[in-house]
Structure 1
Amino acid sequence: MRTNEQWMEAHFTAFQLHAPNITQLELQYADLASDEFAAAIRHAPSLTHLKLFQCPGFDDSVINALHYKDGTTPLVPRLHSLVLEDMDQDVTDDILANMIASRWWTDAALASRAVPPQVARWTCVVLWYDLSGHLLLQDMPSDILITSLVS
């Protein structure tokens, strides 16, 4: 069933609080403000898969919120699959690349860490444009970082 109802953050948050084990979230044409996106993600601690299609509010501030830093409590620590399709290109390449790189380690880098990271490593990142040449993402395998421009 598809609906064009008005976004009701309070209702969605109430639903999420009663269903804390949501692992997948897919939003299409969601005209949410960045703080509404952040709230939807914040209230989904078990989230493993996030898929967005034409969601203009998914901006640099939301991308920064997903950035992982050692020693901080991570947002959606189990997230390992991110699909961004046909998105507005008003995001900053460096901010997006930094966030992706903050949740990716080669096997060797992961094995050399004294303390394992508090977030899952990416298993799949699908982007609507080619960011694979970015310096921070050059170590990511092409079967994990998939872009719309890569055949």
Structure 2
Amino acid sequence: MSIELVLIPVGIAVAHSVGSLIESHKNDRNTYKIQTVMKQQHLLQKALQQYGCEINEMNHQNYQTIVGDIKIYFQQNDSGVFEAVFDKSVAKEDAVEFLDHLHSEYKYLIQQETYKRLLKQASEKGLELESEEIQQDRSIVLTFNVTN
């Protein structure tokens, strides 16, 4: 008997909704913010680093990153979701495109953490990894043998 699992990047369904969440920044008319779906600080930081951004941690819920000569602020809202704050000199289409790429990297990092946790828990539960296959969309198909 074997069990087959497919891991796909988390949040594919919400990736398209990022563009529709643009709203004016409440305190500053020279900026606007875009709500992301990212919640985990360490994964946001890692995704920004892998994207080539310089990161300055202002506190545990606020980050500043620099891409070229553009500063982008990330702040965590009351729901625990990060919002990206852009200067109005940055075109909204460019901001959404940047966040789409960043979100793809973030989803990949979530998938990697899930993959590692799953392998660890599977061996603890008596499952033996028989095979794994990485698909074109970066999803991973794992096949386990039940040994107990």
Higher strand share: 2
Q: Which category describes the TM-score, using the shorter chain as reference length?
A: under 0.3
Instruction: Normalising by structure 2, report the TM-score.
Output: 0.23
Which has the higher relative contact order, 1 or 2, with Cα contacts under 8 A spaced 6 or more apart? Answer: 2
Instruction: Normalising by structure 1, report the TM-score.
Output: 0.23
The structure with the largest alpha-carbon Rg is: 2
